[in-house]
Amino acid sequence: DIQMTQSPSSLSASVGDRVTITCRASQSISDLNWYQQKPGKAPKLLIYAASSLQSGLPSRFSGSGSGTDFTLTISSLQPEDFATYYCQETYGTPYTFGQGTKLEIK
């Protein structure tokens, strides 16, 4: 199975900050998706295919990367962005998720 390692595991930031979360795959992958999850809720798709913003979402979310290294960037944190973020590879089954990055208010 492919292993996905996210960093950092947790992050404290302020409203208006620019934040970057990294996801590294144990081998080269072709597809990478990013999700946001708030407590008690299902994950929400943010970015698919590494850099495609899900329809209807604000442009402050962006994704980049290829091969084994991928990033999710939030350009200017808003109060509603404090949540846990997961990456997911879909190179082949079984799909695997990163362990999550908890974004907290500083």
Q: State the residues that interact with other proteins by CB under 8 A.
A: 1, 31-33, 35, 41-45, 48-50, 52, 54, 86, 88, 90, 93-100
Q: Which is nearer to other proteins, 32 or 77 (CB)?
A: 32
- Beta carbon of residue 16, minimum distance to other proteins (angstroms, whole number): 28
Please tell me the total number of residues recorded for the chain in this structure: 106
Q: Which is nearer to other proteins, 14 or 93 (CB)?
A: 93
Q: Which is nearer to other proteins, 5 or 17 (CB)?
A: 5
> DSSP letter at 93?
S
Query: Cβ-count burial of 98 within 10 angstroms (0-12 exposed, 13-18 middle, 19+ buried)?
Result: buried
Rounded Cα distance between 63 and 21, Å, is 10
